[in-house]
Amino acid sequence: MSRVLTLADGEVDLDAGRVRRGARQVRLTANEVALLDYLSASVGQAVSREELLRAVWGHRTQVVTRALDQTVSRLRTKLEADSGDPRHLLTVHGVGYVLHLATPPRPEPAHTGLVGREQELDQLASCSARVLSVVGPCGCGKSALVAAATARRTGVRSLPLAEGEDLVGALSIGLGLSLQACRTRSAALERLTYALRSQAIELLVLDDADGALDHPLLPELIEAATSTRFLLTARRSPAFGEVLELGPLPVPAAVTLFVERSGLAATDPQVVEALVRELDLLPSAIELAASRAASLPPARMLERIDALLRILRGRDGSGLREALRWSWEGLSSELASLLARISVFEGPFRVDVAAAVAGEPWDELAALDGLEVLLDHHLVRREPDGRFVVYRVVRRYAEERAPAEVAHARQRHLAHYASRSAAFQDRARPGYRLWDELGAEVAEVVAAHRHAAGGPSEAVLALAVCELSRRQWPIETRTAVLDRASTAPSAPRERANVLL
């Protein structure tokens, strides 16, 4: 496979060892190719000098050498339009170097999932505020609106903030930073501000930002990062910036949304209008109801909806749980079991991994068939790279409905990632890195480690978590993780590795 890196005004062909910028071609040395090849495996993430010297030059101990700096200096003359003001190969002071590549404009999505939000899209497009928060009730489509508004923009970085997630940790991982050398909040702020500027991030999207609104770092970062605009989604309004209130859909748009998602073009429009009104015109509830339309016609939905009205009209978003109940009860027992089992994944997952965690009788082909049905029911989504994601609200609901299934699947999830982490630690061949094996599944390794606390797999997962997070987590955090693991009941070898 050809290894080509995209620059702002050209490209690097690592296989040919050449940089092409317009009509100009420049040859790269072997060390320059090796350095770019290594950095390109961690685009946007700072890599330490020690790691680069070890991986590219083979230095196994601390040595005093200018080889790395001289190679970087030569590379900048070949990669950068202005080597004195680099945009691709940047120095991260106190750490090492980071490689940034050009991001081409994203293509227009074939289906954004957005209906009836033209006015709000225009408002977002014309808004010049440095800080704008899109706020509204759970299920009104805040995240979908922002995704559609930024789909074709360049210079956008979107960071989903999981409930309860530490803001500093989310920012450091999302921006590919190492904050382990930062002893104060002001030092962390300086590094974050530098990252936003050096990575040319014109708009930072913080999705599901409710848990971060009261963090003291957020307003400080907004004030300091003057070249970056901020776009937040939340259920409540922050104390800073401008606010765009997002409410229910207009009735015609809500009807259109139901018809499009259900595929029932011949449905009586009056029945559909009555149904979407009973669903409070909330896009999430409408989509979940539409996913059941093939087996439960809208007229029947109306007959069953009376007992749900009080919940659906609540202000706390609990109506989604009832909409989920409809979808859950419309699944076969086998599919409901599969959904419960895959709900333990906290991020995107491959079909083969889903089959391993789901267990019998779900082999890879059966799991794929099941996932396609769940996709049609809008209970999971498919990422551009082909992996699947279970919606967070579905994950929570599955744990309520099938706690035993979820608990057993969580043990298989833990065992799966412990086994893969242990296999890495058994591989001693040069150049093999854990990131190659599990870099796209960091969230799952972290989740497995969390559930392994006090058990025999804690040590091997602690080692994996610390390796995967060594450029994001402060050394104190990694040390604390390893200290806890050293007291867990592990095999002698894993305990020895932790103590080392």
Inform me whether the pLDDT recorded for 456 exceeds 50: yes
pLDDT at 223 over 90: yes
240 and 175 co-located in one domain: yes
- Is the domain of 324 the same as that of 341? no
CATH of the domain at 340: 1.10.10.10
**Is residue 372 domain-shared with residue 278, that is, in the same domain?**
no
Virtual CA dihedral for 63, 65, 71, 77, nearest 10 degrees? 140
Q: What is the pLDDT of residue 116?
A: 92
Q: What is the mean pLDDT of residues 254-265?
A: 89
**The pLDDT of residue 489:** 52
Query: Quick one: pLDDT at residue 16?
Result: 80
Q: What separation, in Å, do the N-terminal and C-terminal C-alpha atoms of the chain show?
A: 38
Task: For residue 112, tell me if it sits in a domain.
Answer: no
What does the mean pLDDT of the chain come to? 79
Number of domains in the chain: 5
Based on the domain organization, do 273 and 307 belong to the same domain?
yes
Q: How confident is the model at residue 307 (pLDDT cuts 50, 70, 90)?
A: very low
At 387 the pLDDT is: 92
**Residue 106 covered by a domain:** no
Higher pLDDT, 497 or 457: 457
In a domain, 215, yes or no: yes
Q: Cβ distance 300 to 272 under 8 Å?
A: no
Q: Is the pLDDT of residue 31 over 80?
A: yes
Residues 322 and 344 in one domain: no
Higher pLDDT, 433 or 406: 406
Cβ neighbours of residue 292 under 8 Å, at least 6 residues apart? 301, 326, 327, 330, 377
The sheet that has 18-21: what strands, in order across it? 4-7, 10-13, 18-21, 24-27
Quick: pLDDT tens for 76-110.
999 888 888 888 898 888 788 988 887 544 444 44
- pLDDT tens for each residue of 461-489: 676 666 665 545 445 444 554 555 455 55
* Confidence (pLDDT) at 317: 42
Report how far Cα 28 is from the mean position of its chain's Cα atoms: 34
| Residue 130 placed within a domain | yes
Flag whether 406 is in a domain. no
> Cβ neighbours of residue 494 under 8 Å, at least 6 residues apart?
422, 459, 460, 463
CA–CA separation, 330 vs 374, rounded Å? Answer: 11
Ranges 334-348, 388-402, 449-463: which has the least confidence: 449-463
Residue 109 lies in a domain: no
The verdict on 372 and 476 lying in the same domain is: no
**CB distance 45 to 98 below 8 Å:** yes
What pLDDT score does 132 carry? 97
458 — pLDDT class (breaks 50, 70, 90): low
What are the beta bridge partners of residue 99?
Answer: 89
Question: Would you say residue 432 lies in a domain?
Answer: yes
pTM score of the predicted model: 0.49
Note the pLDDT of residue 377.
Answer: 72
Q: What is the pLDDT of residue 375?
A: 82
pLDDT exceeds cutoff 60 at 170: yes
Q: Tell me: pLDDT of 500 over 80.
A: no
Same domain, 293 and 348: no
Check whether residue 131 and residue 240 sit in a common domain.
yes
Q: CB pairs under 8 A, 24+ apart, for 257-260?
A: 257/115, 257/116, 257/283, 257/286, 257/287, 257/290, 258/286, 258/289, 258/290, 258/293, 258/298, 260/115
Q: Give the per-residue pLDDT at 119.
A: 93
More confident residue, 216 or 486: 216
Q: Are residues 139 and 228 in the same domain?
A: yes
- Looking at the structure, tell me whether residues 314 and 395 fall in a common domain: no
Q: Domain range spanning residue 26?
A: 4-99
pLDDT band of residue 369 (cuts 50, 70, 90) is very high
| 122 and 205 assigned to the same domain | yes
Q: Of 245, 276, 297, which marks where a domain is finished?
A: 245
- For residues 293 and 176, state if they share a domain: no
Q: Which of 329, 360, 392 is the last residue of a domain?
A: 329
Write out pLDDT tens, residues 277-287. Answer: 877 688 887 88
CA–CA separation, 443 vs 404, rounded Å? 22
Whether residue 111 lies inside any domain: the answer is no
* Amino acid letter, residue 430: P
- pLDDT at residue 1, rounded to an integer: 41
Reference 145, options 161, 132, 155; nearest CA is 132
Predicted confidence at residue 450, as pLDDT, reads 78
CA dihedral 279, 267, 261, 337 (to 10 degrees): 80
Average pLDDT over residues 62-86: 86
pLDDT category of residue 346 using cuts at 50, 70 and 90: confident
Close Cβ partners of 106 (under 8 Å, ≥ 6 residues apart): 151, 152
For residue 427, pLDDT over 70 is answered with no
Looking at 224, 245, 266, the residue that finishes a domain is: 245
For residues 301-310, give the mean pLDDT: 59
